[in-house]
Structure 1
Amino acid sequence: MSEQLLDAPPLASNEASDLTYFALAATAAKPAEKATRPVLSELPEVLGGRYKIERLLGVGGMGAVYRARDLLREQFGDPEPYVALKTLSDDFAEYPDANALLYSEFALTARLNHPHVVRLFGFEVDVPSQRAFLILELLKGLTLDQLLCERPEGLPWRELQEISIALLDALSYSHSLGVLHGDLKPSNVMLAEDGLRLFDYGLGQPVEGLLPGLPRLCRNRFTAWTPRYAALELLDGAPLTAAADVYALACVLYELASGRHPFRRLSAKQAKALELDQRLQRPEQLPPHCWPALRTALAFDEAQRGISCAQLLAVFRQPPPGRWSRWLGRH
């Protein structure tokens, strides 16, 4: 959870923020212009008459995540009655369709039954406070941005391969069901106690034609991205596609392999202007057989990014060729 809600362009500095950026277009219907539901009250101590909030876990412009106790499970003797609750922030929740967007996140993520995608248990609205919220599994562990702080030189191949395969498998599975993530970055991936989890599909969307009745994040009203992981076409106003997810994922994989962002933490637009893609080199800890695929996934132009998550996954699953194989290849 590291979003930011803004009504102005991103920071003017050369370095792109790693926070999710929301630009509210002039066409956005504000609450004062279109009041369709009662005014929100303060977040209650117990949501839905069942979930007792214990403490804040993370906060951003779009929402906040809390640790909570499920009082019903506790009443029946469950020794682990703890869950995570995601609610909308006050500013974002004031928009008339904000609850529908939170439900959209639930509807998309609930379709996904994968060991490396966060599990959602439900979507509810606390009637007295008019607060919508998601109930999720409570995760414990390091997010990948925290891991990178501990490992500034990147990860050795065996560790890198294990994390990469789990993450690629999760996103490939999502894409196979027509679900796009929309905000892939190290802080949205956790190494939990029982394995990797990809989470926060808050900016996700279904591919065209899937779930046609589902509320969608209207990008004519909200432009949402995390600058340093956003594909160039998103920055230019194009709709979210699987190829944009591939670019973001490739940036994360490069960062895990080298300890640094592939384009000096700049946005794709800034990096392209500086022709930083011409200076890209294979991270030392990434085997040579993986580099052509990862380099393709890092292409600025969508037309040149001709590789899918499933294809990247197949490459990363291959073991590096042994010394004998390399000798045969040279001769």
Structure 2
Amino acid sequence: MRIPCPHRRFTGAPCDGAVRPTGYCDTCGRDEAAPGLPPLPAAPEDHGPAGLLELPLLDPGSPAERLAAAEQPVRILMTCSAGACGTAFVPPHTAAPPPDEGYCPVCAAPYSYRPELTRDGPPLQDQYRIRGPIAHGGQGWVYLAEDTHLEDFVAVKGLLNRYAERGAAQAGEERRSLVAIRHERIVQIRDFVSTADTDGTVSGGYIVMEDVGDRTLSAIVESVRRGAFVLDIEHVVTYGCQILEALSHLHGMGFLYGDMKPSNVIHHLDGIKVIDLGGVRKTGSVDPPPVITPYFAAPETDGTKPLTVAHDIHTVGVTLDELARWAVGDDVPGLGTSSFRLVVARATAEDPEERFGTADDMAGQLRGVLREIRALRGKRDQPEPSAYFTPSTELLGARLGSVPDYAHWLRRPLHRRSETPPAPALDPGTPTPTEIARRLPVPRPYPGDPQAARFGVSSYDPGQPLAQPAEGERSVEICLHNARLLLGQEGDEALEAAHEQVEAAAAIPGPGPVRQWRLSWHLGLVALRGADVRQEERAALLADAHRHFSAVHRALPGEYAAKLALAYCVEQLGPHRRTVAGPCAYELFRAVHARNPSHVGAALGLARLALAAGDRTAAVEVLDQVPDESRDHTVA
């Protein structure tokens, strides 16, 4: 008899494995009798933090809990300190774990991975009394120390291998980087101390930083694995937003971080601190060589070329992907966490041109995704205006609430006098493809377009065509503006002219990523209009529109405009909806409506779907949720 596993997955769903005769699950590997992971709330709205962009308050812990024994083995790959050698201390060069201090078995150069600062030693600079080592990473030991002048704790970071030829240069680079950087999400430097060996040789510097504890995101994951902490998908998205906030500050100063990973981010109190700035480099710099971790690094980064913003974006994407593996999110209904996955997918795209252009761009999409997840869980947050779309002033689907004229009631079928006359079916008010193409939100002009200023002046009339400048660069935005105007005209010639305008926009040289989604959006509009003009190609053109809007959705997962367009496409496809992949119309309308109940177009879409399923009660309920202050409340 199959015995189901009683435990849940880290992501929240019940484990679907079976208990083996040994007593362990064949899927999650847990002991059937062992304590399970912490129980989760029954209601989705009780999952995660109560507020938007909130993190749980975590104390750094007492010094006694954090101090590590000085003789603790170094759990990293040891290498020779001589740059010309660089031998890794592994078989066949060593037959056993190498000692923390000694000589290279190949070139006899000295090395030391032993903490050189001890509790019994003299205070650094007569001010910092060392309490002991608390952590070590690829670039240096970290000690807990008391600042005897200010009477508080600080973190002192030294060189991991004090004989490393580039060690002092690395410390100097970190010092110069830290001096210039001031941000609430980045560890704060307080002082620098240098020491010399007995022969007078400077062994490197010590960087004195604020003590932010040792709860790295890697440690958070370990707590989750032990069942001591519940990591939620909302926490992961918030981590991402705050990490990107720090990187945006660095990028704005002309720096690149280079080595983002969970172990380089600390959950400090109710926020995060980015630590270990030894890998920070000036844009375009290759000396010293960039510090990267291969698993998190972008595929085009090999440690010899300058770092890029695209590389930093990639490392954040991999970091969030790693954290999400341990985060509760299976409870999110509807689209679930699929929009978050799309953000990660774009951030980690193999082609750097396809990734987010800036840290702020990625953070904006993550905030939209977070609002969507919270809304689908039943939480309410203030809407955030879109940075990419202007809301439409015309409502789609308003005919659902209109009263038919007398001709509608005269179409009742014949019936016997003893029977109640059946009422003719009401028009659900499904918008036509042409109406959809003309009334969807309008993309905001790209600020970098050479003619972008023309769209922000008071004389700009969205109902009038614009001419390209007689001299200078041609404008993509003017082409797209004219294409939208042509879609408002009747006839096949206007449709062809609109398509030509979009093709002309695509032919203009310029930055591809920032405009590709705009081109896809307008190609989707052209396909929608074509579905009405060319009825014999209706299903194929609707599928084309769905494909183009899907590209926009992948590029901007945090925006609801693309979800709205996709919902209308799937609804229009009707019996042909299985010809396209992706979410159903209900899930898409629901994602928009949950995030913004005032969006009557989404509410009407849900009501139409409910009526089509014969559920009038559900249709009334969703329309009742439209708030009184909504502009189109009367229609609902």
- TM-score normalised to the size of structure 2? 0.38
Tell me what 2:296 maps to: 229
Q: Unaligned regions of 5+ residues in structure 1, if any? A: 12-29, 33-41, 210-215, 261-281
Tell me what 1:278 maps to: none
Tell me what 1:164 maps to: 240
Question: In the aligned structure 2, how far is the partner of 1:235 from the partner of 1:142?
Answer: 29
Question: In the aligned structure 2, how far is the partner of 1:100 from the partner of 1:255?
Answer: 32
User: RMSD between aligned alpha carbons?
Assistant: 3.6
Question: In the aligned structure 1, how far is the partner of 2:136 from the partner of 2:303?
Answer: 28
Contact between 2:256 and 2:283, CA under 8 Å: does it hold in 1?
yes
Q: How does 1:29-44 map to 2 (within 5 A)?
A: 43=117, 44=121
Q: Unaligned regions of 5+ residues in structure 2, if any? A: 1-73, 80-85, 91-106, 110-115, 377-589, 594-600, 606-636
Contact between 1:108 and 1:201, CA under 8 Å: does it hold in 2?
yes
Tell me what 2:306 maps to: 239
Question: In the aligned structure 2, how far is the partner of 1:255 from the partner of 1:188?
Answer: 14
Tell me what 1:303 maps to: 353
Contact between 1:258 and 1:284, CA under 8 Å: does it hold in 2?
no
The 1:88/1:248 distance shift into structure 2, 3 A limit, reads same
Q: How does 1:82-161 map to 2 (within 5 A)?
A: 82-89=153-160, 91-95=161-165, 98-126=167-195, 130-131=202-203, 132-151=205-224, 155-161=231-237
Given the alignment, which residue of 273, 294, 317 partners 1:250? Answer: 317
- Name which structure has the greater RCO, CA cutoff 8 Å, separation 6+: 1
Question: In the aligned structure 1, how far is the partner of 2:188 from the partner of 2:265?
Answer: 13
One-letter amino acid matched to 1:189: V
Identity of aligned residues (%): 24
Q: How does 1:180-191 map to 2 (within 5 A)?
A: 180-191=256-267
Question: In the aligned structure 2, how far is the partner of 1:110 from the partner of 1:283?
Answer: 43
The 1:330/1:111 distance shift into structure 2, 3 A limit, reads farther
Tell me what 1:65 maps to: 142
Question: In the aligned structure 2, how far is the partner of 1:133 from the partner of 1:124?
Answer: 5
Contact between 2:343 and 2:366, CA under 8 Å: does it hold in 1?
no
Give the SS at the match of 1:228.
Answer: coil
Give the SS at the match of 1:67.
Answer: strand
* Aligned-residue offset at 1:241: 1.4
Question: In the aligned structure 2, how far is the partner of 1:179 from the partner of 1:173?
Answer: 9
The 1:61/1:141 distance shift into structure 2, 3 A limit, reads closer
Contact between 2:291 and 2:303, CA under 8 Å: does it hold in 1?
no
Tell me what 1:46 maps to: 123
Given the alignment, which residue of 245, 251, 257 partners 1:175? Answer: 251
One-letter amino acid matched to 2:178: T
Given the alignment, which residue of 283, 289, 292 partners 2:342? Answer: 292
Q: How many residues align?
A: 268
Contact between 1:57 and 1:66, CA under 8 Å: does it hold in 2?
yes
* Aligned-residue offset at 1:252: 0.8
Q: Rg larger in 1 or in 2?
A: 2
2-11 or 134-143: which moved more?
2-11
Question: In the aligned structure 2, how far is the partner of 1:188 from the partner of 1:218?
Answer: 20
